[in-house]
Structures are given as C-alpha cells and as structure tokens.
Amino acid sequence: MAPQNPNPNGSGYVTPDSLEYPSNAPVHPTAARRTVPVVVQSQNTSYSDAHITAKFEYRGAHVTEQGGFIQVTPTVEKFEFQTQRKVSKTGLMMIGLGGNNGTTMTATIIANRHNISWRSKEGIHTPNYIGSLVRASTMRLGTDPITGKDFNIPISDVLPMVHPNDLVIGGWDISGLPLDKAMYRAQVLDYDLQRQVAPHMSGIHPMPSIYYPDFIAANQSDRADNLIPGQDKQVHLERIRADIREFKAANGLDRVIVVWTANTERYAEIIPGVNDTSANLLNAIKASHSEVSPSTVFAVASILEGAPFINGAPQNTFVPGCIELAEKHRSFIGGDDLKSGQTKVKSVLAEFLVNAGIKPRSIASYNHLGNNDGKNLSSSAQFKSKEISKSSVVDDMVDANHLLFKPADKAAGEKKGEHPDHLVVIKYVPSVGDSKRAIDEYYSEILMNGRSTINIFNECEDSLLAAPLILDLTLLAELLTRVTYRREGEAEFQPLYSVLSLLSYMLKAPLVKPGTDVVNALSRQRNALEQFLKACLGLQNESDLLLNTRIW
C-alpha cells in the first residue's frame, strides 16, 4: 500500500521549506515589555518625574563574646535611596565577542528583538530569555490582602530596567571573523535559528583586541588574527579607551557596560611596586610590564572611561591597584567568573549539607567539554585560575559552622581552619562541543561516624547557561549606576561603592570590598539582591515568618 500523502493540497510530503513560520507569534513572557509599574503607597517613598526616593531602615545586630556570655545589641541604620527612573540607552561591549558566549548572547538578543521563530526536530520554537534571573524569575513582593496568598512579580518589574532587546552590541576579539561566521564556528544554536539571524550578524565585526601570548594557552594562537599592533601596553590602553568612547558616541549611548567573556588567563603575579597600587599599576602599563594582563588593561580602560567592567572569567583581573583605581574614579567593577551550572549547584548543595548539620568530608568535581574554553583550559596555567574560582565556593559555609569544622587557630599562626578536601578536574574532549559533562561526588560524615555519598551527573550546553548571566550582569550593573544613597545626617547622595558585590549571584568567586567577608551561599546572594531592590522602594524585607497570616 502506498503511504498516504500528509500534504493533500500539494504534490508531495511536508518539507521544511513548505512549512510556514507563525506570523505575529506572541512574544514570550521573558521578552515582554514592562507594562505594570510598582507604586508604593507609603510616607517613606516618593516619586518625581526623575527619581524614586525611598527611606529605609537597615536592622542588624552587633555581637560580642565577653565575660562568659554572648552579648547581642540590635542596631538600626537609616538610609535614603534615590533611583533615576529614566533608563539609560545602554551598550554592551564584550571582550570575546566572537566566542561562544558572545555570539550566543548577540544571536539571542537579535532573535528576541525580531521575534524570530525557528524549527528543530522537535518543532517550532519562539525566542526567549529563559535562564535570566532578571527576565525569567520572580520575587515575592508581599501578600494579597483578600486571598492572603503571596504576590510575586518579575524581577525586571520591580524597578525601571533596560530591556535586553534595546541593548546595542559591540566589542573586541582576537579573531576577526564576522559574527555570523563566528556563530557557525561555535556550533551552539540550532542551525535554522543561525540561518535566520545570520543576516543580522554578518555586518558585526569584532574590533581588534590585545593578545599577550603568555597569559592564555598557546593553542589559541591560530585565532589571533585581529590584533591591535605592537607591544606597547600604554598604546593598547589608549586604543581601548578610544574604542569605548567612539562606540558610545556612534550609537548615541548614555552608558556602556564592558564584560570580559574571552579566554581564561593565567593568574598575574602580585608584585609590590608593579600592581599593588593604582599609581604603580598605571606606571606598569606605561612600562609595558610583563605582569599586566590583557584583562587588566581592559579593566583599567573601562574604569578611566567610567564604564562598568565585569570580569566573567576566573583570573585575577582586579589586582589591588585596579581596585584602588576604581575606588578613586568611583567607577564600577564586578567579578569574577560566570557561575552557570556545576558551581551554582555546588553552592546550593554545600549550603544544604552544612545547614543540615552534615559534615562534607570531600567534594570532587570532574568536567569535560569540547568548546574553545575547554581547549584553553587544557593548559595548566589557565586551568589553575579556574580551579581557584571553583574551589572557593564553599568557604563561607564551612567557616560559618565551627561545630563541624575546626576554625583556624590564629594564635598558632594558622591561616585556614579545617576544610573539606576539594578536587576540581577539567578535561578537553572536542567531540562533545559546547555540551559540558560534569560529575560531582559529595562524601560526608553523618551520625556516629556514618558516611553518606551523593553523586550528581549534570549535562548542559555551556554557553546557553552563560549567556543569560552576561545579560543579568549587564542589566543589573546599568541599574546600579542609577542608584545613589545617603545615610541619616548626610546632605548629599553618593554613588554605590565601586565593587558591585550585589552581582555575586552570577559569579563563582565574588569580588567584595577589601576587608569584608565573601558570601558564596546562593540563597544569601539572592536574598541580598531582593532586599536591595525592595530597599530602593522603601519596603522592609518581609520575612518567611509570615506573622501577618499565621501565628506559629
């Protein structure tokens, strides 16, 4: 019997070319435009055409141990926050624009901007921003007074934020391929999507970048065909600064955010007189010192141009002199290393174990991947940077529980207390491409010397997890440039501190103000961000105690 023709109105079977894409397809909720603004009815919050001004009481506690008892003194510090309501016209400049993350981010924005549908073997798909904290997650604003149920809204709706479709994309890469060809090389997105966004990307060419072979793996040299000439690092600095200025002017931008999403570098050596102060660092750049990395040159250029700089890789871009320079210029910086899959799970699971009174004895993490990041990390010096950022993710949780882990004996000169054995392995396997495999073993001590082992196998498309983080870092960094504050008794509002630790949720090795504690626990990082957004509206954080609906 002859097979039935599934396309009775035509002469043959249904083929991809004979199917039409949906016209006027609905926009995915994660890409929708903000339509319902939040208005706080309170004497603590006021609105003008230009600003949202909010008073906020930060409640904490001072704790001391003395005389055989622990003394707790509740504290209240009063702040006033002012947020500009007008969203900046914003450009995103990526270092590594032609890499997997850069091309995936650019194609995603273009597909959403033009509402481009595409077809895979599973059917027709519409563009979205799934994976973005800002665009695809919600937060609890309060409770509905009638039903008593939680009222949750998209994080993007809490305060005025840039819509990602409006971002202007540019950047640098040591490879000169136009972005359509770089996207094909990356092999991340479905081909039918690539085919449709390619005409929009073919005209985007990465600007020449800087290439110091000592800082990245030798196996990257075949890509290095798009370079700012010469070895003079001061000339390189001035060229990058000019690129930022010209990109901003050419596109009529109010703000440029610069994100490092290029290859992982080796750690730069911290040398007194070279990169320990801002003055020494600037002099080291003038002298083209060998320990000034490409990422630090980009960071310094961004700081001097007033463009927030985010380090999405694990190297120590922010040497002490770079942080000091940002403080002096009141420029914003954030880092380090995008926290996408395995490390994010690790921060959650380690927190669960320690908070449950279970003692992790060892955490062993194995990865293999086949994208260019994996190729670069096959070099031992670059892998060391990644190993450091991945290994520090449980430190604050361990340090918080002295019942399970013996703290350092400072009197005996110990710098670090008891800590789980922590092993990180990354291997380059070209055939798996961007689809990274991660295996974790959590080996823990339980009651009466018992043992518990948790094994996790995780497979993910690396760049499809990383790109939304770049988006979140950009949108939140832009927002934070529009927030100023003053303490009670101060006359003038001032910008936030230069190191944007509120971005820690997206980063493996959070950069914080020198002398303050690093928070790696994912729930604390998320809570801090939510509470800050509420503080900008004059809302006290409504705890999970839920006294308004129940008395326990």
Residue pair 483/83 in contact by the 8 Å Cβ criterion: yes
278: amino acid identity, one letter = S
Give the H/E segment covering residue 258: strand 255-260
Residues 51-87 as b/e (b if ≥16 CB within 10 A, e otherwise) read: bbbbbbeeeeeeeeeeeeeeeeeeeeeebbbbbbeeb
Structure tokens at 108: 């995603």
CA 62 – CA 117 distance, rounded (Å): 55
User: What does the DSSP assignment read for 480-547?
Assistant: HHTEEEEETT--S-EEPPSB-GGGGGGBSS----TTS-----HHHHHHHHHHHHHHTTTPPP--TT-T
Residue with tokens 């005209």: 203
Report angle CA 533, 538, 541 to the nearest 5 degrees. 65
- Number of residues written out for the chain: 552
Catalytic residue among 233, 359, 375, 436: 436
Catalytic residue flag (residue 395)? no
CA 166 – CA 169 distance, rounded (Å): 9
Report angle CA 134, 199, 135 to the nearest 5 degrees. 5
- 457 by DSSP, 3-state: which? strand
Catalytic residue flag (residue 248)? no
Residue pair 259/95 in contact by the 8 Å Cβ criterion: yes
Structure tokens at 484: 């100023």
CA 30 – CA 152 distance, rounded (Å): 15
Positive or negative, the Cα torsion across 385, 388, 389, 390? Answer: positive
Catalytic residue among 344, 359, 375, 386: 386
CA 362 – CA 451 distance, rounded (Å): 11
Catalytic residue flag (residue 410)? no
Catalytic residue among 173, 243, 336, 337: 337
Residue pair 262/95 in contact by the 8 Å Cβ criterion: yes
CA 269 – CA 47 distance, rounded (Å): 49
Measured CA distances, 350 to 344, 394, 421, 503, 510 (Å):
10, 6, 13, 20, 17
DSSP 235: H
DSSP 392: G
CA 254 – CA 392 distance, rounded (Å): 36
| CB-neighbour burial class of residue 171 (10 A; exposed 0-12, middle 13-18, buried 19+) | buried
Structure tokens at 177: 């391929």
| CB-neighbour burial class of residue 165 (10 A; exposed 0-12, middle 13-18, buried 19+) | middle
Catalytic residue flag (residue 337)? yes
Residues annotated as part of the active site: 337, 386, 436, 508
